[in-house]
């Protein structure tokens, strides 16, 4: 039997993916687990492997086309296998022109369950929404764009009266300035990121709390040991493995930070799949380190190097973009000292890591110069109470300031 290739679920909050590039064409042979197609989401460009060995019999989606999760995108057949319905049908008798005209009433529009759900949530009449999909199919982004358009229209002030024409004084020339502007269409990953950010702010009750961490011990230890670590482990030792380890240890004490909300229930995850925001050429991606709670500092360092390279090269694997339970973003690498990160839906929280800076601090009534860093925790106040969020953040701080280096 032929094998259908299905658009996989590329994350808990992702309803569709865009076909970026077919790596095989119709008639090409393909092996099981060999990369078949590159798919783009709001988080990454991912290679989808073939589920079977054989011949690419049909490509059911074009490059640049969005496809909803669980929809077929290709068919793999065994060598010489005939596909169902491949027999050439007899040409039907052509009806008279009048009959054709009578048989072409307006086609009923069909909407996906996701589109219908969004329309119900936002009280949208789908007949008023212009679709941008194949055959003008209404997609999720069309509904969200329509909702935003209506919101802006309702909030817009009434138009101001037209200004009086400017009349130059005698002998003065009226010169009209020409604006230097560039119009950049919001397409592909940039559009998907924009939709994801808007949806997050509309969904979660965002609150951000901040802690100041003394990183001096870790900075000094890393300076003494980074060269030896790189020779031994084969990867550079950054600060992020320490921060991840301190975070997963704090999650063990406050597991509600590692949860999602579905309707009227909170689902607490007993494992930590850590997402890390990475600035890639096409936009922000959030690859996932699976079971980060089970990894040592060297293991986290190797996993980080792997997912960051994959994100920047556009070569992430499917399991590196799925199932994140908590995320960290690192604006400090660009020098930021304070931020309010947006939660990566459907997670409950995200931790912003800021730049490490030497600052004067008071220790035992004396001023000392220490390597200090702000941590900024944004959390969903529907799920996490403020007191719990502060205790969690202070536990991360304590873990970093009292880090045990023998693990």
> Which residues are known to be catalytic?
381, 385
Cα of 317 vs its chain's centroid, Å: 15
Query: Whose structure tokens read 């990475």?
Result: 278
Instruction: Report the run of H or E that residue 120 belongs to, with start and end.
Output: helix 113-122
Cis ω on the peptide bond leading into residue 126 (within 30° of 0)?
A: no
Nearest Cα residue to 71 out of 10, 135, 22: 10
Decide if 225 contacts 237 (C-beta within 8 A).
yes
Nearest Cα residue to 219 out of 401, 9, 399, 34: 401
Please list, in sequence order, all residues whose beta carbon lies within 8 angstroms of the beta carbon of residue 219, skipping any fewer than 6 positions away.
239, 356, 371
Give the C-alpha separation, 242 to 231, whole Å. 19
Give the C-alpha separation, 112 to 345, whole Å. 21
* Residue 201, SS3 per DSSP: helix
* Residue 405 phi, psi dihedral angles, 5° rounding: -85, 0
Q: How many residues does the chain have?
A: 407
Nearest Cα residue to 272 out of 285, 288, 296: 288
Burial class (CB in 10 A: 0-12, 13-18, 19+), 3: middle
Angle (nearest 5°) at CA 80 between 29 and 37: 30
Rg (CA), the chain: 27
**Structure token digits, residue 274:** 């850590």
**Structure token digits, residue 69:** 């999760």
Nearest Cα residue to 351 out of 371, 372, 325: 325
């Amino acid at each position: 039997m032929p094998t259908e290739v299905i658009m996989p679920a590329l994350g808990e909050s992702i309803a569709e993916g865009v076909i970026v590039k077919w790596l095989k064409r119709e008639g090409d042979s393909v092996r099981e687990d060999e990369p078949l197609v590159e798919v783009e989401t709001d988080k990454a460009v991912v290679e989808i492997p073939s589920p079977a060995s054989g011949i690419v019999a049909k490509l059911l989606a074009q490059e640049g086309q969005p496809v909803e999760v669980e929809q077929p995108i290709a068919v793999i057949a065994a060598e010489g296998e005939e596909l169902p319905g491949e027999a050439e049908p007899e040409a039907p008798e052509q009806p008279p022109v009048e009959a054709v005209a009578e048989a072409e009433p307006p086609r009923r529009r069909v909407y996906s369950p996701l589109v219908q759900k969004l329309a119900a949530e936002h009280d949208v009449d789908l007949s008023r929404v212009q679709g941008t999909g194949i055959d003008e199919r209404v997609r999720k982004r069309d509904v969200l764009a329509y909702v935003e358009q209506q919101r802006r229209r309702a909030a817009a002030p009434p138009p101001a009266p037209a200004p009086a024409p400017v009349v130059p004084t005698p002998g003065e020339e009226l010169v009209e300035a020409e604006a230097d502007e560039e119009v950049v269409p919001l397409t592909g990953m940039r559009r998907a990121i924009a939709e994801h950010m808007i949806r997050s702010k509309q969904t979660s009750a965002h609150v951000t709390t901040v802690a100041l961490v003394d990183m001096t011990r870790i900075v000094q230890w890393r300076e003494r040991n980074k060269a030896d670590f790189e020779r031994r482990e084969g990867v550079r030792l950054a600060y992020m493995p320490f921060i991840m380890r301190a975070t997963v240890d704090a999650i063990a004490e406050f597991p509600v930070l590692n949860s999602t909300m579905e309707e009227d229930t909170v689902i607490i995850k007993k494992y930590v799949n850590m997402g890390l925001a990475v600035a890639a050429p096409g936009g922000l991606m959030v690859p996932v380190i699976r079971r980060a709670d089970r990894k040592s500092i060297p293991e986290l360092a190797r996993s980080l190097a792997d997912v960051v390279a994959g994100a920047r090269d556009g070569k992430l694997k499917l399991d590196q973009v799925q199932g994140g339970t908590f995320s960290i973003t690192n604006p400090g690498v660009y020098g930021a000292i304070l931020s309010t990160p947006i939660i990566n839906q459907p997670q409950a929280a995200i931790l912003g890591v800021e730049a490490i800076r030497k600052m004067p601090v008071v220790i035992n009534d004396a001023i000392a110069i220490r390597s200090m860093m702000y941590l900024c925790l944004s959390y969903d106040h529907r799920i996490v109470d403020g007191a719990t969020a502060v205790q969690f953040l202070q536990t991360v701080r304590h873990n970093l300031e009292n880090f045990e280096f023998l693990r």
